[in-house]
Structure 1
Amino acid sequence: MNPSDILTPPHWPSRFLRWYCHPDYLEDIEGDLIERFETDLAIKGPKVARWNYTKDVFRLFRPGIIRPLSGNNQLNHYGMFKNYIKVGVRNILRQKAFSVINIAGLAIGIACCLLILLYVNDELSYDRYNKNFDRIYRILHTYRSAENPGSLPPPSPEDFQVWGSAPVGPALQADFPEIESYFRFTSPSQLLFQYGSKRFQEDNMVFADSTAFQIFSWNLISGNPKTALKEPNSIVLTLSTAMKYFGYDDPMGKTITIDQTETFVVTGVMGDVPSNTHFTFDGLISMTTFHNWRPEIFDSWGYVDFYTYFLLKENSRIESLEGKIPDFIEHNGPDWYKTDNTIAFEPLSSAYLHSKASRQPGTTGSYTNIYIFSFIAGFILLIACINFMNLSTARSMERAKEIGVRKAIGAQRHSLIVQFLLESIMLTMLAALLALILVAFVLPFTRELSGKALYFSDLLSWPFIALFTGSVIFVGLIAGSYPAWVLARFKSSQVLKGRLKSSSGGISLRKALVVFQFALSMSLIVGTAVVFSQLKHLHTLDMGFTKDQMLVIDFGWDSKVQEQIASIKTELGKHPKVSMVSTSRAVPGAFLPDAGTRIESASGEMTMHNPGIYEIDQDFIPTYEIELIAGRAFSDDFPSDTTQALLINEAAAKLYGYTNAEDVIGKKFTQWGREGTVVGVVKDFNYKSLHSKVEPLSIRYAPTGALRRFSLKVAPEGMVTTLADLEQLWSQLVPHRPFIYSFLDDSFNRQYDADIRFGQIFTVFSSLAILIACLGLFGLTTYTTALKTKEIGIRKVLGASLFSIVTLLSKDYIKLFLIAVLIGIPVSWFAMNSWLDNFAYKMEIGPGVFIVAASICLLIALSTISWQSVHSALRNPVDSLKDE
């Protein structure tokens, strides 16, 4: 350091003082500081003097001394902001109509966004309640046939299924030290539960390994999580199931009789499975029970009835396991390996939204729907912001004189921008408060509509509150940015001389925004029409079988019913309203297994595939009116049909290489221990959802113990009386079992509940988006009509008709509408075709959909515009011309 620098004040504090200090005070303050520095230098030395000088510079950094940022006399802008708020409130109250339209539009837009946010958040939260969420995986399986192992291409995601065999889990844990534990559960079992006088058929009970509570974070209210499912004949009930049987009594240690033969001990009570999980159940039965019943299947790689999950050890990578899969399969299941079967691992995070595998243990979601609803939320909010910008810029002429006067007396451009942005944020805050009230009011209806557990409390977390507040301010800034920029650019000289006119840029922007609103509104109308047309198409499509007036009675494989199937069928068929009765394992729309089936090829070789399997009696085909295209159906005239005959559908015939159905008749088959010949081919019928094409199906005569349902074709007249009669008859024939029935068309159509719910939600939010667009259009029309009040009066005095005046006010919007139609047609066509790709059987989007949508959109727009236009045209011209 230069010695002379020690005797002078430090440089950087001096520079800082000169930067912030008001010019009027700088000379005096700096002189005083230098005098004090020299005194400290002489008495206390240079180090203390320099330190005191620096402290004094920073102590003086306060509002009374700091130079003004923009020519004001002080940094404290409290008075200025107070004035901005006053002016903003006055403008809001003065322009009540525009304020109500803006606040209502923004409120509806924000409310829609919040509701959709709750829906999307619920969809994205599936299975995340598990503390080991990131370490849980499940095993996927493929079952493909190949003459030579490895000859088939790698399986696609659609080739896998979640349903698999029992030995996979134990074998994986034995071979892979990275696996901490595994958990298996079966497909839901239908069991007759009885406790005292209470008797119900439970359709969602699963057999599960004792590691259930080790892998999944289910809340076990009573019982030991490590031992609750260890012993045979032990059962853990969900809270709602336990309440059904035991009320408020403690169920622990009590026994429940199942199927009138087995007694089970309640060893645990768990909270109901959270709604945001990809599979649910009403109770867990120990897997050791199932093992005691059927021990042979726990060593069979070919028996499929299990879903297997495993927990990866911490710091282990799933990639290290995936590379060992071929060796694992060859070592554990060589026969399985020869058929080109394999496994894969899927993280729990992909189970609900991303999985393409079949045979899911529960419902799956749709990322496409999440994108669609998110876009709708964004569009709704964007429309609300567009309305705000349109109305604000359109009203700019009304505030021109205010801006001119304020600029003339010294107002800076940036202060005007701040004022208008502050007014925009105030409107947005009011809209946000109203939106929260709307959400609280409509949330119960939204829960019913969406079928999801959505609660207002989900919006009360601190992260969400911070995000919501920030988003509201951001929306206010975005919505008010362009109007503020336009208004602040007004020149005071032109404004005060009355020469200011709307800029061509502002008019062009408003027109562009109106076109955008029209195009979006039309696209949403097209989307709504396509969704409901597709759903109608699904309901009216020829399924290939009769499902109307088909009553299905479920007896859950009851052994006592199995023993007297023939006599029960006879008695049910005697009812005058019942024309036909059949029995089967499955019915269309219900779950059915796959069966490894070999059928003789044209070259004489036995080809292996895994078609679905229906097990039926001889009356099933005629009862459901399924058409035969080759051969014959099962018949009592051929006793060997019960053990040596097989029917297949057209898809199965093609799978085995027969394009001509007649050629497969008489070919040999082997299936599940049964051998014989193919005796008939049925026409393809949609026994599964129309989301997929008809899959290969084999149909065989049901063996003893394989039947579960009666199908009754009943007359539609007097249905209530018919059901009462059948229930009474059932209580006489099967007194130990409840009368559980459903109509096939209802149960089959439940496969489309998610699609119907999607259509309803889509329609509601589309309608709200159109409503917001109409609000903006109404406000804009009101303003433009007000600007032409005197012109309308003059035209009426000169003899103009009502029609010509309405046309004058509407023609510009009609032109914009036509442009919007040209934009909306290709956009909506592309978007809805992408949605229709989820269906194997989809409607064709013809020009009629766009014509109807355009007509509806035009009608809505004209109704909105004409309301104000007709009102202005009907006014007495004297009222509009007498003021100046």
Structure 2
Amino acid sequence: MLSLNSQQATDMPHKKYPLPPRWVSKFFQWYCHPDYYEDIEGDLLERFESGLEEHGLKNARWNYIKDVVRLFRPGIIRSLEISSRINHYSMFKNYLKVGYRNILKHKGFSLINVTGLAIGIACCIIIMLYVQNELSYDRYHKNYNQTYRVLQTFRSAADPGSLPPPAPEEFQVWGCAPIGPALQADFPEIKSFFRFTSPVNLLFQYQNKKFQEDNMVFADSTAFKVFSWRLISGREETALTKPNSIVLTQNVAAKYFGKNDPLGKTITIDQTKSFVVTGVMEDVPHNSHFTFDGLISMTTAHNWRTEIFDWWGYVDFYTYFLVDEQANIAALAQRIPDFVKRHLPGWQDNTIAFEPLSDAYLYSVAARQPGAMGSLSNIYMFSSIAVFILIIACINFMNLSTARSMERAKEIGIRKSIGAHRHSLVVQFLLESILLSTISAILAVALVSIALPWVQELSAKTLDLSSLLSWKSVIAFMGGVFLIGLLAGSYPAWILAQVRSAQVLKGTFKSSSKGAALRKSLVIFQLSLSIALIAGTAIVFSQLDFIRSRDLGFTKEQMLVIDFGWDSGVQEQLNIIKAEFLRHPDVHSIAASRAVPGNFLPDAGTRIESPEGAMIMQSPGIYEIEPDFVPTYDMQMIAGRSFSANIPKDSTETLLLNEAAMRLYGYTDPSEIVGKKFSQWGRNGIVVGVVKDFNYKSLHTKVEPLALRFAPVGALRHLSLQVSPENITKTIA
């Protein structure tokens, strides 16, 4: 029987023949193996024509569809892309095998490349951990984006209202107690406020365990509402409501109670007061811009000193507040002038401001911070160093790879002669590069785990490698390793893929002069970056050496400081204790004071007579000292005299200033301010001397104004002993 295929039927214009469904024929043509297509198609059309004569068009088409579907089975369908994919997988596996063998074959080259990349990646990981730590401060708080803190200014002028608006640097975080309740009363958008004080030093005793605790703060009961600190035991709502209640951190609680439950237990403080433990909380995370070891209820501080909670001029509180999600902080800030006028009519030159919690660690320029500050410039600097180190490592890899092009030329020539395409060679060399970078990354992680303890000690940061185990960090790390391998191997792969097989097989292949020029350029660039890093290291070292050797204006060598924490027993017997210390042959001098250089100190509202005769109010820092303090620290008097134990009036009617304070009150000649009147914290008298400026704070800042006054009874905390350099260990013992 003569059969017509679909094309023949279409080509005969004079007579129309019924055809099977076109879409079915196209489907069959798509899946059928090309080697069988024509034969099977003829048989299908023959069956269709036979069915057409016997059963009609409808049944013939339906049977045709069933035949096409039945033929869709292994052996007839084409391989599609499966074989291609299998082939690609095999090639990929072969590339990795060749790369692995090449690494083992050239052990020296591979070791240099892997080690160089590993050190570069390890440096980047360490710097990334540091940067991640810096950027993570306070972000663990649930209400991070809704929490703000209050900044205040404390300025004064002879003509009230004459000062310009304060600069950001003139604000300070340290403020007064009444401002928190007043803000919540006047601003409905404020859901809650939280205050805490400067750290206090207290002697804790439980049974036979006695320790001096230096980082306890008085805090409002809203602590756990504003901030996301978790209580392990106790109730958040009531833990800090009652007087003489205290919440300890987990570490401090373990020191006194071990594994026993401390809830409800009583701790004796300063040998006279009893505090009940009402809660134990997790230790404050290291990435907090302020920390503490325990919270004492604010009602306790209120009972001790009720007057300061209504005193807008008394400064010893840090105030934070939580706003509604819909609150507009800019709109709140616009209402500040009315708030100040309503509550502080005498504050013509002073104001308050709101600072978001997100700015507290890295961006704040306000003074009197509650904790250590970060440095945004350090983040940029270290990030740049990480990039430089990585670039140097990648350039080192590229130079070594291109320099070895002659050794790989024969391999490439043979591969090309048997049909290898240029893109497949590029893929091969890129895979080798990625394999090397992966090995380097594994080695880098090992190096980081070994070096991390020393880095933490050097940086005073808690850097944890496990912080990189989040899925985002793992993906970023793997992507980075892949990118490093891709970038480091891209140019060598492109250069090696250009090799002509004919030249190689004839033995006439030579390295390109352009390649040599590029390698030289890369080496110059690499050395330039290395020199820049070495120079930066030298500058940092010289700065550290400058800090170590700089004259601070006082003697710090062989100075032993004993903190007795306001102990009333020590203060009552202070003269006897000092005399007993001086009997030791290696103790040359001794002095008592409230603070020593480098310690916390308060500000004091101080009025001093100006050159024009007006009493000007400023707020310099204050040291409360004994007469022996200035000579013990070898401080230099540049005008007037120091305090004297033989002049009774010195204890209540005299004041010393440093040079910065002298300039603050409008004087340039130190001798001119000697004899001028002063008024400070209930004392009135005259300035008797000017001390040469000494660095009692960080060398990052200028020496700030400082007033030194004769310490009143009960205001002393430290003993400073100047000891002999010989046998220091024996002397301390």
TM over 0.5: yes
> For residue 206 of structure 2, what is the amino acid of its counterpart?
Y
**After superposition, where does 1:753-768 map in structure 2 within 5 Å?**
none
The aligned residue for residue 163 of structure 1 is 174
Q: Take 1:37 and 1:455, find their aligned partners in 2: how far apart are those partners?
A: 75
Q: Take 2:104 and 2:58, find their aligned partners in 1: how far apart are those partners?
A: 66
Post-superposition offset of 1:152: 3.1
The aligned residue for residue 705 of structure 1 is 714
Post-superposition offset of 1:256: 1.0
**After superposition, where does 1:468-507 map in structure 2 within 5 Å?**
468-507=477-516
Taking structure 1 as reference, are residues 36 and 673 closer, same or farther at Cα in structure 2, changes over 3 Å only?
Answer: farther
The aligned residue for residue 209 of structure 1 is 220
Q: Take 1:309 and 1:212, find their aligned partners in 2: how far apart are those partners?
A: 10
Post-superposition offset of 1:55: 14
The aligned residue for residue 243 of structure 2 is 232
The aligned residue for residue 11 of structure 2 is none
**After superposition, where does 1:620-659 map in structure 2 within 5 Å?**
620-659=629-668
Residue 731 of structure 2 corresponds to residue 716 of structure 1: no
Q: Name the SS of the counterpart of 1:152 in structure 2.
A: coil
Post-superposition offset of 1:341: 1.6
CA contact (8 A) 2:231 2:281 kept: yes
> What number of residue pairs does the alignment pair up?
713
**After superposition, where does 1:173-572 map in structure 2 within 5 Å?**
173-335=184-346, 337-338=347-348, 340-572=349-581
Q: Take 1:359 and 1:54, find their aligned partners in 2: how far apart are those partners?
A: 83
The aligned residue for residue 137 of structure 1 is 148
Taking structure 1 as reference, are residues 511 and 316 closer, same or farther at Cα in structure 2, changes over 3 Å only?
Answer: same
Taking structure 1 as reference, are residues 463 and 681 closer, same or farther at Cα in structure 2, changes over 3 Å only?
Answer: same
Root-mean-square deviation over aligned CA pairs = 3.3
Post-superposition offset of 1:257: 1.0
Q: Name the SS of the counterpart of 1:256 in structure 2.
A: strand
Q: Take 2:343 and 2:59, find their aligned partners in 1: how far apart are those partners?
A: 89
Post-superposition offset of 1:462: 2.3
Post-superposition offset of 1:189: 0.4
Q: Name the SS of the counterpart of 1:528 in structure 2.
A: helix
**After superposition, where does 1:580-595 map in structure 2 within 5 Å?**
580-595=589-604
The aligned residue for residue 695 of structure 2 is 686
CA offsets, 1:171-205, max 9 Å, x none?
11111111111111111101111112221111111
Taking structure 1 as reference, are residues 511 and 194 closer, same or farther at Cα in structure 2, changes over 3 Å only?
Answer: same
CA contact (8 A) 1:63 1:74 kept: no
Q: Take 1:529 and 1:158, find their aligned partners in 2: how far apart are those partners?
A: 32
Post-superposition offset of 1:386: 1.3
Post-superposition offset of 1:408: 2.4
Post-superposition offset of 1:693: 1.0
Unaligned runs of 5+ in 1: 725-884
Q: Take 1:547 and 1:136, find their aligned partners in 2: how far apart are those partners?
A: 41
Post-superposition offset of 1:92: 1.9
CA contact (8 A) 2:361 2:374 kept: yes
> Which of the residues 50, 55, 58 maps onto 1:43?
58
Q: Take 2:35 and 2:508, find their aligned partners in 1: how far apart are those partners?
A: 41
Q: Which has the higher Rg, Structure 1 or Structure 2?
A: 2
The aligned residue for residue 64 of structure 1 is 79
Q: Name the SS of the counterpart of 1:536 in structure 2.
A: helix
Q: Take 2:525 and 2:237, find their aligned partners in 1: how far apart are those partners?
A: 61
Post-superposition offset of 1:392: 1.1
Q: Take 1:324 and 1:287, find their aligned partners in 2: how far apart are those partners?
A: 28
The aligned residue for residue 9 of structure 2 is none
Post-superposition offset of 1:97: 1.6
CA offsets, 1:638-683, max 9 Å, x none?
3222212111111111111111112112211111121111121111
Post-superposition offset of 1:367: 2.0
Q: Name the SS of the counterpart of 2:201 in structure 1.
A: strand
> For residue 584 of structure 1, what is the amino acid of its counterpart?
S
Q: Name the SS of the counterpart of 1:474 in structure 2.
A: helix
Q: Take 2:45 and 2:610, find their aligned partners in 1: how far apart are those partners?
A: 108
The aligned residue for residue 136 of structure 2 is 125
Q: Name the SS of the counterpart of 1:77 in structure 2.
A: helix
Q: Take 2:455 and 2:44, find their aligned partners in 1: how far apart are those partners?
A: 69
> For residue 177 of structure 2, what is the amino acid of its counterpart?
A
Q: Take 1:139 and 1:58, find their aligned partners in 2: how far apart are those partners?
A: 77
Taking structure 1 as reference, are residues 432 and 48 closer, same or farther at Cα in structure 2, changes over 3 Å only?
Answer: farther
**After superposition, where does 1:857-868 map in structure 2 within 5 Å?**
none
The aligned residue for residue 767 of structure 1 is none
Taking structure 1 as reference, are residues 235 and 579 closer, same or farther at Cα in structure 2, changes over 3 Å only?
Answer: same
CA offsets, 1:460-519, max 9 Å, x none?
322222222222222211111111111111222222222222112211221111112211
CA contact (8 A) 1:9 1:53 kept: no
Post-superposition offset of 1:25: 8.0
CA contact (8 A) 2:392 2:530 kept: no
Q: Which has the larger displacement, 285-294 or 609-618?
A: 609-618
**After superposition, where does 1:678-827 map in structure 2 within 5 Å?**
678-724=687-733
Taking structure 1 as reference, are residues 290 and 421 closer, same or farther at Cα in structure 2, changes over 3 Å only?
Answer: same
> Which of the residues 581, 585, 595 maps onto 1:576?
585
Taking structure 1 as reference, are residues 586 and 420 closer, same or farther at Cα in structure 2, changes over 3 Å only?
Answer: same
Q: Name the SS of the counterpart of 1:486 in structure 2.
A: helix
Q: Name the SS of the counterpart of 1:105 in structure 2.
A: helix
Q: Name the SS of the counterpart of 1:334 in structure 2.
A: coil
The aligned residue for residue 672 of structure 1 is 681
Normalised by the length of structure 2, the TM-score is 0.90
> For residue 404 of structure 1, what is the amino acid of its counterpart?
G
Unaligned runs of 5+ in 2: 1-15
Percent same amino acid among aligned pairs? 64
> Which of the residues 104, 115, 122 maps onto 1:104?
115
Post-superposition offset of 1:52: 12
Q: Take 2:75 and 2:46, find their aligned partners in 1: how far apart are those partners?
A: 16
Taking structure 1 as reference, are residues 590 and 28 closer, same or farther at Cα in structure 2, changes over 3 Å only?
Answer: farther
Taking structure 1 as reference, are residues 484 and 206 closer, same or farther at Cα in structure 2, changes over 3 Å only?
Answer: same
Q: Take 1:451 and 1:115, find their aligned partners in 2: how far apart are those partners?
A: 14
Q: Take 1:598 and 1:123, find their aligned partners in 2: how far apart are those partners?
A: 41
CA offsets, 1:780-831, max 9 Å, x none?
xxxxxxxxxxxxxxxxxxxxxxxxxxxxxxxxxxxxxxxxxxxxxxxxxxxx
Post-superposition offset of 1:549: 1.8
Q: Name the SS of the counterpart of 1:572 in structure 2.
A: helix
Post-superposition offset of 1:63: 7.0
Q: Name the SS of the counterpart of 1:531 in structure 2.
A: helix
Q: Name the SS of the counterpart of 2:130 in structure 1.
A: helix
Taking structure 1 as reference, are residues 227 and 54 closer, same or farther at Cα in structure 2, changes over 3 Å only?
Answer: farther
Taking structure 1 as reference, are residues 316 and 23 closer, same or farther at Cα in structure 2, changes over 3 Å only?
Answer: farther
CA offsets, 1:809-861, max 9 Å, x none?
xxxxxxxxxxxxxxxxxxxxxxxxxxxxxxxxxxxxxxxxxxxxxxxxxxxxx
Q: Name the SS of the counterpart of 1:341 in structure 2.
A: coil
Post-superposition offset of 1:687: 1.4
The aligned residue for residue 781 of structure 1 is none
CA offsets, 1:725-780, max 9 Å, x none?
xxxxxxxxxxxxxxxxxxxxxxxxxxxxxxxxxxxxxxxxxxxxxxxxxxxxxxxx
> For residue 385 of structure 1, what is the amino acid of its counterpart?
C
Taking structure 1 as reference, are residues 531 and 234 closer, same or farther at Cα in structure 2, changes over 3 Å only?
Answer: same
Taking structure 1 as reference, are residues 313 and 16 closer, same or farther at Cα in structure 2, changes over 3 Å only?
Answer: farther
Q: Take 1:681 and 1:75, find their aligned partners in 2: how far apart are those partners?
A: 88
Taking structure 1 as reference, are residues 521 and 292 closer, same or farther at Cα in structure 2, changes over 3 Å only?
Answer: same
The aligned residue for residue 858 of structure 1 is none
Post-superposition offset of 1:227: 0.4
